[in-house]
Amino acid sequence: MVSKLRSARSIAVIALAATLGATALALHSLRDRQAAAGPLPSPGTAMEVPVASVVQETVPVYLEYLGTTQAVRSVTLEAQVTGYLERYAVRDGEDVRKGRLLYQIDPRAYRAALAQARAQLERDAAAYRYAAANHARDSRLIKTGDVSLDTLQLAASTAAQDAASVAADRAAIETAQLNLGYTSIRAPFSGRLSLTQVHEGALITVAGTQLNTLVQLDPIYATFNPPDTDLPRIETALRRGPLPARVLIGNSTTAEYSGTVTFIDNTVNSGTGTITMRATIANPRHSLLPGQFIRVRLTIAARANALLIPQIAVSSSQLGQYVYVVGPDSLVRQRFVTLGADYGPLVSVESGLAPGEWVATGSLLRLGSGMRVHPLRQTPAAAGTPGRAASKPHRPVRPDLQPRRGPAAVNGPRR
């Protein structure tokens, strides 16, 4: 009996200690939040709160997909003649222009072969001139009977054979010139080299000696696979003209690369329900490389009269996302909203707000419904950067405002 009483007392002491600890923790958390929010205004004083207006603008409607980059052209450099490598004329990984010398094979043997072919041409040309003169002379003498018909025919045959020899020599000279030119391996197009596979003094053979690889970087392909359900919207946009495409890297919110859609495959993959598409992207700085994972954003339409507010005006709770609306009477009211796509520092609002209303963009931790405040009006662009107040009237967002971050499929409402 005594043991049971002692156990009950121990449990009561533990419960009391736990309650006191939780209370202390809650008070500590409350003090931290009050310290973070700053000192409360004195009674009867309206707190200054930065606010920004809800604006209406035309914004782009876009689809976004994951994709990869691919080189427009990629070749393996190989030799067309055999010889020892005399010089590697560039650096590994260097950007080269079309026609630049990359490798030089020892050309001496091929210069000698060209000189030999030219000498053979001179020899056969001399023999042809002699045979042609003999044929012309016999053609005159046969009229007087001084030569036989067989002699004339032999002279004609000799002249024809020598003419053929001259033609063959000219072809041999052309072949020798080509082989001599092949000793200089030049860039077939502008691009970037990889690591060289051979060095000076190595014997280069025609039978598949790989020297290096060259890839074209500007422009570059962005390949992605939209679901077939998006295909009608994409084709509708294509019928209106070139379909713009923008490329984002990693978690970037800025589309630094742009181009147009240039290819749609003719078959939907029945296993994945997707279709292969490709956009040609300008890459003048060569900062995009083949094989990178990217996000491709297609602007398929423009949405008029979209409502935009600064992203920093939005707060979240268990009930959803909300903003604090400051009315004409300077009273604060909490309003739950449904958000759409992000456009840089702004976000579109699908429901919950009306054009011309003002939302609080600062001091959100100290606000509550029914409070009276002193609003400091800002432009939406200035409201996107904390601490920037604007005394001048709001200036509308540019009509060509491009989205900078959105969901993976389409810029619809955010949950």
pLDDT of residue 303: 87
pLDDT of residue 378: 78
Q: Is the pLDDT assigned to residue 295 strictly greater than 80?
A: yes
Highest mean pLDDT, choosing among 56-60, 384-388, 405-409:
56-60
Rounded CA separation 25/30 (Å): 9
Helices then strands, counting H and E runs in the chain, come out as: 5, 22
pLDDT in tens, 173-207: 999 999 999 999 999 999 999 999 999 999 998 87
The CATH number of domain 63-73+217-302, selected from 2.130.10.10, 2.40.30.170, 2.60.40.10, 3.40.50.12780: 2.40.30.170
Is residue 20 very low, low, confident or very high in pLDDT (cuts 50, 70, 90)? low
Q: Is the pLDDT assigned to residue 284 strictly greater than 90?
A: yes
Domains 63-73+217-302 and 75-106+189-214 share a fold: no
Q: Which residue has the higher pLDDT, 217 or 399?
A: 217
pLDDT of residue 401: 47
Contact assessment for residue 217 and residue 192, using Cβ atoms and an 8 Å cutoff: yes
Rounded CA separation 22/14 (Å): 12
pLDDT of residue 343: 82
Average pLDDT of every residue of the chain: 84
Q: Which residues neighbour 166 within 8 Å (Cβ) at sequence distance 6 or greater? A: 121, 124, 125, 128
Is residue 21 very low, low, confident or very high in pLDDT (cuts 50, 70, 90)? low
Q: Is the pLDDT assigned to residue 32 strictly greater than 90?
A: no
Q: Is the pLDDT assigned to residue 7 strictly greater than 70?
A: no
pLDDT of residue 24: 53
Q: What is the mean pLDDT of residues 287-304?
A: 92
Question: In the sheet where 191-193 sits, what is the strand order?
Answer: 74-78, 210-215, 191-193, 95-96
pLDDT of residue 89: 95
CATH fold of 108-182: Helix Hairpins (1.10.287)
pLDDT in tens, 235-279: 999 999 999 999 999 887 677 899 999 999 999 999 999 999 999
pLDDT of residue 34: 45
* DSSP single-letter state for residue 163: H
- Token representation of residue 85: 């490598």
Q: What is the mean pLDDT of residues 290-296?
A: 95
Is residue 141 very low, low, confident or very high in pLDDT (cuts 50, 70, 90)? confident
Is residue 139 very low, low, confident or very high in pLDDT (cuts 50, 70, 90)? confident
Using a pLDDT cut of 90, give the percent of the chain over it.
Answer: 64
Is residue 11 very low, low, confident or very high in pLDDT (cuts 50, 70, 90)? low
Among 75-84, 327-336, 372-381, 392-401, where is mean pLDDT lowest?
392-401
Is residue 126 very low, low, confident or very high in pLDDT (cuts 50, 70, 90)? very high
Contact assessment for residue 149 and residue 142, using Cβ atoms and an 8 Å cutoff: yes
User: Pick from 46, 48, 49, 52: which is nearest to 357 by CA?
Assistant: 52
CATH fold of 75-106+189-214: OB fold (Dihydrolipoamide Acetyltransferase, E2P) (2.40.50)
Helix axes 108-141, 149-182, angle to 10 degrees: 160
pTM (global) more than 0.75: no
Q: Is the pLDDT assigned to residue 404 strictly greater than 50?
A: no
The residue extents of the domains of the chain are: 63-73+217-302, 75-106+189-214, 108-182
Q: What is the mean pLDDT of residues 70-91?
A: 95
**Cα 32 to chain centroid, rounded:** 45
